[in-house]
């Protein structure tokens, strides 16, 4: 089980009628209808045609959209929800439930999209089986580069011209097309994780069209490749150390009374030797990359610290085998192509790759690396141009930033840096762990502050924190 296979587990929903937004600012009327597979009460779907290439107007791409509407007579405006990933489906997420609190849902229509990177289709045999990226287990950068080039060739065949136009600024232009199509003078943005890059881009490009912008679990697009790798790795190690500290003091931790970090390290060493296997499936080996990735994505994300302790205890044979985590199915989707379009990531040669890997292991002696290492390694060999390379945030509208103190994916360090770059922003810190703050964390303090901003445009005081 690998990072890319997990990240690519995205489904596509068949939607209702299609409307084209022309390059002129003429509003188009979307034909909203019931979503298919299956219909969900309270959710409507549509498709919006936009240019594949916004710069020239050439090509055509259909954006899947979904919305939940506010009751008639109470509507304050429209919130556009930008999902994370890359690869998360805003349409499927909104079908699963609203992305805002009941109070905000009563006053705003919530509209979302499947970002264009979700449409990238490649050879499933390649997309589902990325190469080893751990130099300690014999991985070679040349093999990763060869894989990337082969994969890109199949993505070109399966995706077409939109493959060249996947970056966050393209998504921001798609959001502007949505604004035009719904007939809103301004929109409010609620973005999560990787979606915060598109939200920052939209606020930079169309400041007069922004009513409010919330960046939840903030991505920092100003970082160089090495800064990105090191800061993300510091973040996931911090999240793991928060877990081990909890385990030391919590009787309900399955590893209570043991050194949880040492247990993980021993499992990692077994994985490096090819000796770590799934307890309930002894023939299934677990690689060190899989161990670190699943620890992060499966348990630190939510966070589920009792579940992580239980998993590590079963892997260490301290507890009975239990049930293996579900395995992702094969997929042809490769939304990480958007990450490659948004980031210039390079390694000079095998020696440089190994040097950076060694540095990450000193930054994170337990986790060794963040999941971004695998993506960065693949992107380093990606043969398509980097169309939106890293740059400092140039947002000049008020913004509310939300971040957990111990976020394993988008570190608090990133949020603090973006906060310093956006002059009229406020960072609200939730003094807890996990990925995602507003609504999903069920934190009344953070939810009320965000609701107040959405409805009254009142930002919390600088330095606000919530338990």
Q: Does residue 147 have a pLDDT over 50?
A: yes
Q: Does residue 2 have a pLDDT over 80?
A: no
pLDDT computed for residue 40 by the predictor: 86
- Cα maximum dimension of the chain: 66
Predicted confidence band at 25 (pLDDT cuts at 50, 70, 90)? very low
Q: What is the 3-state secondary structure (H, E, C) of 89-112?
A: CHHHHHHHCCCCCHHHHCCEEEEE
Q: Does residue 17 have a pLDDT over 60?
A: no
Predicted confidence band at 403 (pLDDT cuts at 50, 70, 90)? very high
Q: Does residue 111 have a pLDDT over 80?
A: yes
Please give the mean pLDDT across all residues of the chain.
Answer: 93
- Distance in angstroms (rounded) separating the CA atoms of residues 194 and 101: 21
Higher-confidence position of 26 and 465: 465
- Distance in angstroms (rounded) separating the CA atoms of residues 33 and 288: 47
Residues whose CB falls within 8 Å of the CB of residue 153, separated by 6 or more in sequence, listed in order: none
349-354-357 Cα angle (round to 5): 130
Residue 253: which of 271, 261, 323 has the closest Cα? 261
Predicted confidence band at 377 (pLDDT cuts at 50, 70, 90)? very high
Q: Which tokens is 335 given?
A: 């939304």
What CA dihedral angle connects 298, 303, 305 and 307, to 10 degrees?
Answer: -40
Question: pLDDT tens across 191-209, in order?
Answer: 999 999 999 999 999 999 9
Is the peptide bond preceding residue 303 cis, with omega within 30 degrees of 0?
Answer: yes
Q: Which tokens is 26 given?
A: 């003429």
User: How many of the other CB atoms lie within 10 Å of CB of 373?
Assistant: 24
pLDDT computed for residue 339 by the predictor: 98
333-215-53 Cα angle (round to 5): 45
Question: pLDDT tens across 234-264, in order?
Answer: 999 999 999 999 999 999 999 999 999 999 9
Position of tokens 């939209």?
202
Q: In the 8-state DSSP scheme, what is residue 264?
A: H
Q: What are the respective helix, strand and coil percentages of the chain, to the nearest 5? A: 40, 15, 45
Task: Identify whether the C-beta of residue 111 lies closer than 8 Å to the C-beta of residue 81.
Answer: yes
pLDDT computed for residue 28 by the predictor: 56
Cα dist from 346 to 77, 338, 350, 377, whole Å? 43, 16, 11, 8
Question: pLDDT tens across 280-299, in order?
Answer: 999 999 999 999 999 999 99
């Amino acid at each position: 089980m690998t990072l890319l296979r997990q990240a690519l587990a995205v489904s596509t929903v068949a939607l209702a009628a299609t409307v084209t937004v022309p390059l002129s600012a003429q509003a188009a009327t979307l034909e909203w209808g019931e979503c298919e597979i299956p219909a969900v009460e309270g959710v409507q779907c549509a498709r919006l045609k936009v240019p594949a290439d916004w710069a020239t107007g050439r090509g055509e791409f259909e954006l899947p959209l979904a919305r939940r509407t506010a009751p008639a007579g109470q509507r304050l405006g429209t919130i556009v929800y930008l999902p994370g990933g890359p690869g998360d489906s805003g349409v499927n997420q909104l079908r699963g439930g609203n992305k805002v609190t009941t109070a905000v849902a009563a006053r705003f229509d919530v509209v979302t999209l499947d970002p264009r990177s979700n449409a990238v289709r490649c050879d499933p045999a390649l997309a589902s089986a990325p190469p080893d990226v751990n130099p300690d287990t014999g991985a070679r950068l040349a093999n990763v580069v060869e894989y990337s080039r082969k994969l890109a060739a199949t993505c070109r065949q399966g995706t077409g011209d939109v493959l060249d136009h996947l970056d966050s600024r393209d998504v921001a232009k798609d959001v502007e097309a949505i604004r035009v199509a719904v007939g809103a003078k301004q929109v409010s943005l609620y973005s999560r994780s990787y979606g915060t890059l598109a939200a920052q881009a939209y606020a930079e490009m169309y400041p007069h069209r922004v009513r409010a912008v919330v960046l939840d679990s903030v991505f920092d697009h100003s970082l160089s490749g090495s800064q990105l790798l090191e800061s993300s790795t510091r973040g996931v190690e911090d999240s793991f150390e928060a877990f081990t500290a909890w385990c030391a003091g919590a009787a309900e931790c399955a590893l209570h009374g043991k050194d949880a970090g040492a247990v993980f390290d021993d499992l990692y060493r077994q994985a490096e030797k090819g000796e770590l296997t799934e307890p309930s499936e002894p023939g299934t080996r677990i690689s060190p990359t899989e161990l670190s990735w699943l620890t992060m994505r499966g348990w630190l994300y939510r966070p589920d610290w009792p579940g992580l302790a239980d998993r590590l205890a079963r892997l260490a044979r301290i507890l009975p085998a239990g049930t293996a985590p579900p395995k992702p199915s094969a997929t042809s989707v490769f939304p990480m192509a958007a990450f490659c379009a948004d980031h210039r990531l390079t390694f000079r040669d095998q020696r440089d790759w190994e040097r950076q890997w060694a540095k990450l292991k000193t930054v994170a002696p337990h986790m060794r690396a963040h999941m971004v290492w695998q993506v960065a390694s693949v992107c380093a060999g990606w043969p398509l141009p980097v169309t939106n390379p890293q740059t400092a945030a140039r947002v000049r509208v008020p913004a509310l930033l939300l971040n957990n103190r111990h976020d394993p994916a988008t570190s608090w360090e990133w949020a603090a840096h973006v906060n310093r770059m956006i002059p009229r922003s406020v960072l609200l810190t939730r003094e807890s762990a996990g990925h995602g703050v507003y609504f999903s964390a069920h934190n009344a303090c953070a939810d009320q502050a965000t609701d107040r901003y959405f409805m009254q445009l009142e930002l919390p005081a600088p330095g606000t924190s919530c338990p």
